[in-house]
Structure 1
Amino acid sequence: MILKNWIQEFEQESENTRKLLQSVPQKDLNYRPSDISWTMGELAQHIATIYYWYVGTLTQDVYDVASDYLERGSPSDINATLTLFEDNVQKARQALTSLTEEQLSDEWTMKAGGKVVLGPMPRGIVARSFLFNHLYHHRGEMIVYLRATGNKVPGLYGPTYENSIA
């Protein structure tokens, strides 16, 4: 039952992420709200990359991110990021739909170059926090970036402020 709900959530939220990334203008990809922040292009690329992590998280008991290379393209090219997003959503969907309820209880660990950086913990907890919630967190950041640069924010859960003044 959990997986059935997660798959429905995944489909709905992938569409919301698509709308958000499609609203990122090429002209503002170098915007950076502070010296320690990503550029808008880097943030968009990170959002697209999170979908790739579904595969390692949902299909491997130990996921070493240091040994998993993903060609991302340039964060200064929104079209490359949109292509990355679409490719990764397909991979994520496959990984999610191949999972069983029982596998949600399996112990999972993330490593970076052999060093444990997350876990061990049940795969279901990791999927909810590291994949779903992590993605929502960064989408919220992107909304702030869009507003800070004077861009419209698409309605993800209903009309936005911009829709009410149009």
Structure 2
Amino acid sequence: MLQYLIQEFENEVKSTRKLLQAIPEKDLGYKPSPISWNMGELAQHIATIYYWYVGAFTMDVYDMSSDQLERGSTNDIKATLALFESNVELARKAFESLTEENLQTDWKMTVGDKVVLGPMPRANVLRGFLFNHTYHHRGELIVYLRATGNKVPNMYGPVYEDDAPQEY
């Protein structure tokens, strides 16, 4: 199972990279509603999820309050892309610590004494908290890109913009 999860990770890293690279600096401040993140904050959050692989794979209890990740400005897409690439490398190294057996060991996330996720088998953390969490926010980012008139990159095949009727 682990080899398939690693393959999915690597394939999806490519898709996430394409999506983050499609964000124009001029639209980083776009915010679809008062309670939403702006595009720069959402992009940085997606890049940050890759950092959480380290805590999910190398610790049985990951205390978010004691973990400090240096992030650049949400108004600088190059800084977000650099954060993403750095975090992907950390995630790859963390994958090296995984075995089929420890995919079944329980894991939980805390903020101080408060449990915010788990306990659950680490395989569920990988699928639910890391993979699906990324996919969810990438979907939001696609809506942001379209709402600002930007082209969405193809990640799983052609996208609407590739086949849309051209207006002249």
TM interval, short-chain normalised: over 0.9
Structure 2 matches for 1:65-84, cutoff 5 A? 65-84=64-83
Q: What's 1:109 paired with?
A: 108
Q: Secondary structure at the match of 2:43?
A: helix
Correspondences of 1:1-166 after superposition (within 5 Å): 2-165=1-164
Post-superposition shift, 1:126? 1.0
CA distance in 1, matches of 2:8, 2:125: 16
Paired with 1:164 and 1:72, the residues of 2 have a C-alpha distance of: 37
Aligned residues: 165
Q: Which runs of 4+ in 1 moved over 3 A?
A: none
> Matched residues in 1 for 2:20 and 2:26: separation?
14
Give the root-mean-square deviation of aligned CA atoms. Answer: 0.8
The answer on whether the counterparts of 1:7 and 1:97 sit within 8 Å (CA) in structure 2 is no
Structure 1: runs of 5+ lacking an equivalent:
none
1:110, 1:33 → 2: CA distance?
30
CA deviation after TM superposition for structure 1 residue 96, in Å: 1.4
Q: Distance in 2 between matches of 1:97 and 1:152?
A: 36
CA offsets 1:109-135 (integer angstroms, 9 cap, x no match): 100122111111111111110000000
Match for 1:72: what amino acid? R
Distance in 2, Cα, partners of 1:97 & 1:132 = 17
Gaps of 5+ in 2: none
Post-superposition Cα deviations, 1:105-162, rounded to whole Å, max 9, x if no partner, equal: 1110100122111111111111110000000000000000000000000000001011
| CA offsets 1:70-96 (integer angstroms, 9 cap, x no match) | 001100100000000000000001111
Provide the C-alpha distance between the structure 1 equivalents of 2:122 and 2:10, rounded to a whole number of angstroms.
20
Give the TM-score taking structure 2 as reference length: 0.96
Give 1:132's aligned amino acid: F
Q: Give the structure-1-normalised TM-score.
A: 0.97
